[in-house]
Chains A and B, each alone.
Chain A
Amino acid sequence: MAVDVAETRAASRLRPSESQREFFSLLLKNPVTVAALILLFVIGVVAVFAHQIAPYPEDATGATNLSERLQGPSWAHPFGTDQLGRDVFSRVLIGAQTSLTSGMIPILVSAAIGLPAGAIAGYYGGWIDSAIMRVTDVLISLPRLVLAIAIGAALGPSLENAMLALIIVWTPFYVRMIYGQAKSLRQEVYVEAARALGVPSWKIILRHILPNCASTMIVVFTMDLGFGILTMASLGFVGVGAQPPSPEWGAAVAEGRSAMPDWWWISVFPGAAICLVVVIFNVLGEGLRDALDPHARK
């Protein structure tokens, strides 16, 4: 059966304009998703301009004000002050910069490494396939946080090391995720047709395989951005991530523990920030999933 080349090209690419419009309209239909998008934007802006917005930015970089220590939430200090008199609100705002970037960057790097690796493994098969699969098999058998804490501790407690640990721990998941899809897509008619036509493998992977995995990837990636932030904060909390006096949210929660429960605001507000951000990313991910594949959910 001769395969029409035009049909091949058409089958392998989503009709751009039609599906893009449908996608955006579906995405924006859900009010919860829209709210999440708006909130995310606001948070982003706040994080970028944190130093300008925060009333006491110096409190996030080491200044202390012992005369005002342990004050509850008030107009002057919406989130109260901590044991060193630092304004918690300012610290949360500026901490956003550290928490958000240190959480998201490792996920981006993991995806950048893992997706191509998984696509190659799934597509080529053979020994590359087995090798990559054995390695990732083991790595995903360990809970991510446990391994990240172990690696972070081994490398030495610091923000950079924690980020590296996160990358090491997260990449195998992306490899596995795309591996399955790449493997099954390889059997598709249009891929075989492309190979028969002599299209080089890397081109096939780039133009046929990766775009078709796109919808699941995007959803998982979005939610992982949130989970990356959460894991970094957990590392900070345990003590192997950001180190005091960094206003990173996890570390801030840990610092506030000694003041518990009477001066609860020191731990509660940074933690609430983490929770908010993670939930927003999750909601966004859900909204994306519904918009990309409306038939997947009832």
Chain B
Amino acid sequence: MLGHSTFVLRRIVAVIPVLVGIITIAFVVSRIIPGDPARVAAGPSASQETIDRIRDEFGLDDPWYAQYLDFWSGLLQGDLGRSIITGKDVTADIAEYFPATLELTLAALLIGSLSGIVLGVIAARRAGTWTDRFLQLFAMTNIGVPQFWLALLLQILASMTGLLPVTGRLSAATAPPPSITGMYTVDALLAGDVGTFFEALGHLLLPSIALAAILTGIVMRVTRANMLDVVSRDYIMNAQVAAGLGPRLVFYKYALKNAMIPVVSTIGLNFGFLLSGSLLVETVFNWAGIGLYTTTAAVSQDFQPILAGVLVAGAAYVILNLITDVSYGVLDPRIRKESA
């Protein structure tokens, strides 16, 4: 499908200036920190010599354009500096914490989308009834509930009932499975370790529900609205009047496929909420991902990790929008024709 590949290529090229912009913003943000980060890093009792050494090491005295270029060269070499607090390479930190966030986000994406679609279809089928009204209120609550508060509520519930674990990715006694993807659930499955798999899953469940809530609400509303819209279209009536197809087939096959097209892009557009939410949810559940890493750094004004966090979020967002754009073409045959 040659037409399809130019479509994808053009989208990718359009994204590059945005990435450059994001990187620049991240740089600006990390450098507007007032006060002396070197002093903060060195500690209150450090000598001037130590402080100077740190300043030199981090290039804090160089003019801003030198720092910017330095920053770029470092980036392109994969060097994101070092965390003043942990002392480790930020790149290494990111690599270590990234899979956890990925695991959490994917789980939330799955839970949020599926529950949203199912509930949206139910609400549309029963439009106007009390079920529908209740579901709409439910969706609205999901969108408005503070993610960190929901996470806390789930924690309280789990603690009181003792059903599910409330912190971390695995209990302290369990060793993580051999790392292939870095995602404990997937790795455990790949290693055939069913016990660890279920334990990792149990730890994953509550945080991903807390993270998914807002997505459930949004997807549900969009699905419901689209289903109701599609159901009033001519081809739906035609299917029943000209072809005699039954209402269930018409609703769940003919209408649904059409209604789903905007849902995919909705999920893509609202991916940002998952990224933001991961910061909060990881903090509450002590989930060792990039969110927790970034918020810890934020409170201590450790600027390299903050910068890295922004970069990762921006890159993820951009990539996801790209995927969404492309998948739109897969779902709606009319779009494919336009870009060919």
Contact = CB atoms under 8 A, between A and B. Distances in A.
A and B touch in the complex (CB under 8 A): yes
Interface of A: 32, 134-135, 137-139, 141-147, 149-157, 226, 230, 233-234, 237-240, 250, 253, 257, 260-261, 264, 267-268, 271-272, 274-275, 278-279, 281-283, 286, 297-298
A278 B145 contact: yes
B301 A154 contact: yes
Contacts of A226: 144
B247 interface: no
B61 interface: no
Contact of B144 (A139, A145, A156, A230): A230
B17 A275 contact: no
Given A144-B272, A156-B35, A238 B279 contact: yes
A238 B314 contact: no
A56 B267 CA distance: 46
Contact of A149 (B21, B33, B294): B294
Nearest to A151: B29
B38 to A, nearest CB: 16
Interface string B310-332: 10011001100100000000000
SS of A interface (majority): helix
Given A143-B272, A275-B144, A282-B144, A268 B299 contact: no
List the 7 shortest-distance A-B pairs measured between CB atoms, nearest first.
Answer: A138-B21, A271-B149, A145-B276, A143-B272, A153-B298, A278-B144, A261-B159
A234 B299 contact: no
Contacts of A154: 29-30, 32-33, 301, 303, 306
Interface string B225-245: 100110010000000000000
Nearest to B291: A146
B143 interface: yes
A260 B159 CA distance: 9
B17 A134 contact: yes
Interface stretch (B69-77, B150-158, B196-204): B150-158
Contacts of A234: 146-148, 276, 280
A295 B17 CA distance: 39
B294 A155 contact: no
B299 A238 contact: yes
B149 A142 contact: no
Contacts of B32: 151, 154-155
Given A152-B298, A274-B149, A138 B25 contact: yes
Contacts of A250: 146, 148
B249 interface: no
A271 B146 contact: yes
A260 B276 contact: no
Contacts of A275: 141, 144-146, 149
Contacts of B273: 143
A141 B156 CA distance: 35
B25 A139 contact: yes
Contacts, number: 168
Contacts of A139: 25
Given A146-B279, A261-B160, 16 more contacts: A134-B17, A138-B24, A145-B276, A146-B309, A153-B299, A154-B29, A234-B146, A238-B295, A240-B299, A257-B284, A268-B152, A268-B153, A268-B156, A275-B149, A278-B144, A298-B229
B158 to A, nearest CB: 8
Given A271-B146, A279-B140, A261 B155 contact: yes
Contacts of B166: 261
Contacts of A153: 33, 297-299, 301, 306
Contacts of B22: 138, 141-142
Contacts of A135: 21
Nearest to B147: A234
Of B26, B32, B160, B298, most buried by chain A (CB within 10 Å of CB) is: B298
26 contacts: A134-B17, A141-B317, A142-B313, A145-B276, A147-B29, A149-B279, A149-B294, A149-B298, A150-B29, A150-B294, A150-B307, A154-B306, A156-B35, A157-B301, A234-B148, A238-B298, A239-B298, A261-B155, A261-B166, A267-B149, A268-B152, A268-B156, A271-B153, A274-B149, A298-B228, A298-B229
B143 A282 contact: yes
A271 B29 CA distance: 29
A150 B148 contact: no
Contacts of A137: 17-18, 21
B34 interface: yes
A286 B24 CA distance: 37
B310 A150 contact: yes
A264 to B, nearest CB: 5
Contacts of A147: 25, 29, 310, 313
Contacts of A157: 299, 301
Contacts of A237: 146, 148, 280, 283
Contact of A279 (B33, B144, B297, B299): B144
Interface string B273-285: 1011101100110
A295 B156 CA distance: 43
